[in-house]
């Protein structure tokens, strides 16, 4: 399966248009959160992406809630919003969890603490593609000041479930980063997106 995966669109409608064009050449599209910007512009971002005809898996970022994302995607038949649950596309199982993990410093942010995230991640099946807005601790999670801002709960889920791929975003300074976490390929995607071959 060829998939186009991206994160952190933040209502960039030009980038959304580019992703729509590129989606015509893949079997699936994956959006790893932050389609809106501080809870604004979500309907505009999804409105631009609804032209994607391939099955599309989305998780909320910390800039939109799962409820808001589900509401914005109503009527988009190809969209599957995941937040603590799984779906299958073309024989590939995807498990998704959104939000900022751990809790961010911003009072407007949609976040989960590590314990909440760990409980949701218990449902991640072995060998799935894990789509998470927040990266695992120590992998593609370095801020501009060198801090590791990733999630220990996501890292523990990777160690338990051994996903084939971990697709994330959230930490903008790590866009384009690729890492290995216990045999699982971790990619911090960014808004330009990457075309991947998924098992």
pLDDT tens digits, residue range 118-130? 999 999 999 999 9
Domain with 29, as residue range(s), is: 2-197
- What's the total number of domains in the chain? 1
First to last CA, the chain: 6
This prediction's pTM: 0.97
CB contact at 8 A, 99 and 131:
no
Q: What is the pLDDT of residues 72-120, one digit of tens each?
A: 999 999 999 999 999 999 999 999 999 999 999 999 999 999 999 999 9
What's the CATH number where 128 sits? 3.60.21.10
Torsion angle in degrees (nearest 10) through CA of 19, 23, 26, 30: 60
pLDDT at 115: 98
Query: What is the average pLDDT value for the chain, to the nearest integer?
Result: 97
């Amino acid at each position: 399966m060829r998939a186009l995966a991206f994160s952190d669109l933040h209502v960039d409608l030009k980038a959304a248009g580019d992703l729509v064009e590129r989606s015509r050449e893949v079997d699936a599209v994956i959006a790893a959160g932050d389609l809106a910007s501080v809870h604004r512009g979500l309907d505009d971002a999804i409105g631009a992406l609804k032209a994607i005809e391939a099955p599309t898996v989305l998780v909320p970022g910390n800039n939109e809630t799962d409820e808001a994302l589900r509401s914005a995607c109503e009527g988009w038949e190809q969209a599957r919003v995941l937040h603590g649950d799984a779906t299958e596309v073309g024989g590939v199982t995807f498990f998704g969890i959104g939000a900022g993990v751990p809790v961010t410093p911003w009072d407007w942010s949609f976040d989960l603490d590590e314990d909440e995230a760990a409980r949701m991640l218990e449902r991640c099946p072995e060998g799935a593609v894990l789509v998470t807005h927040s990266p695992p601790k120590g992998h593609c999670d370095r801020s501009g000041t060198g801090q590791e801002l990733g999630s220990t709960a996501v890292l523990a889920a990777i160690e338990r479930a051994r996903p084939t791929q971990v697709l994330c975003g959230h930490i903008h300074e790590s866009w384009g980063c690729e890492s290995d976490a216990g045999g699982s390929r971790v990619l911090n995607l960014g808004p330009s997106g990457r075309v991947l071959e998924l098992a």
